[in-house]
Amino acid sequence: MHRHEWEVGECEILRAPNVLNGLATAVAAFTGDGDGIIVQPPVFFDFYDFIKENNRELALTPLFLKDGRYEMDFDGLRQLAEDPKNKMLFLCNPHNPVGRVWSAQDLKQLGEICHETGVVVVSDEIHGDITFPGHTYIPF
Ligand SMILES: Cc1ncc(COP(=O)(O)O)c(C=O)c1O
């Protein structure tokens, strides 16, 4: 299958009943009780309840507004990622609710930080098909 400039083999696709169940499966597979999961508020509200209900801890690195656009705080992200307690990051790409379509540079920088620190990125891309003209969604 080829979409969004991304070639995906059929054997790489697993079906989940919905997005939150997919996230739950990843949390169960890659984290344990009490581990931290990094999220970037403001973000889809179910992320918060869902992390707490699964006995994981929220690790928050808020987005910030710059020139009318939300940006990631990469210093804050690195600080949390370097804490061995934090094992996973929920990325929202594009980001609900702020509507940011993350750039290749944003995704690369986030990926490098998480790769260096061993943080597993779980990217929720449910809104990938909904972008304004002139903005290109890039699968993480
Ligand atoms: C970012 C995000 N993830 C997940 C969901 C819900 O997905 P599902 O109902 O498939 O669990 C929503 C719904 O608004 C959403 O905005």
Q: Is residue 95 domain-resident?
A: yes
Q: Give pTM, 2 decimals.
A: 0.95
Who contacts 20 (Cβ-Cβ below 8 Å, separation ≥6)?
46, 50
- Distance of CA 69 from the midpoint of ligand 1 (Å): 22
State how many domains the chain has. 1
Q: Is residue 78 domain-resident?
A: yes
Q: Is residue 117 domain-resident?
A: yes
Say if residue 119 is exposed, middle or buried (CB neighbours under 10 Å; 0-12, 13-18, 19+). buried
Q: What are phi and psi of 104, to 5 degrees?
A: -60, -40
| pLDDT one-digit tens code per residue, 58-90 | 999 999 999 999 999 999 999 999 999 999 999
| pLDDT one-digit tens code per residue, 7-52 | 999 999 999 999 999 999 999 999 999 999 999 999 999 999 889 9
- Distance of CA 86 from the midpoint of ligand 1 (Å): 23
- Distance of CA 89 from the midpoint of ligand 1 (Å): 16
Q: Is residue 40 domain-resident?
A: yes
Q: Is residue 61 domain-resident?
A: yes
CATH number of the domain that 110 lies in?
Answer: 3.40.640.10
pLDDT value of position 1 = 74
| Pairwise CA distance, residues 49 & 51, whole Å | 6
The H or E element containing residue 25 is: helix 19-30
Domain holding 84, by residue range, is 18-124
Q: Is residue 135 domain-resident?
A: no
Q: Which atom of ligand 1 is nearest to the CA of 18?
A: 10
pLDDT value of position 2 = 85
Question: Residue 130 region, left (φ>0) first, then alpha (ψ -120 to 50), else beta?
Answer: beta
| pLDDT one-digit tens code per residue, 86-132 | 999 999 999 999 999 999 999 999 999 999 999 999 999 999 999 99
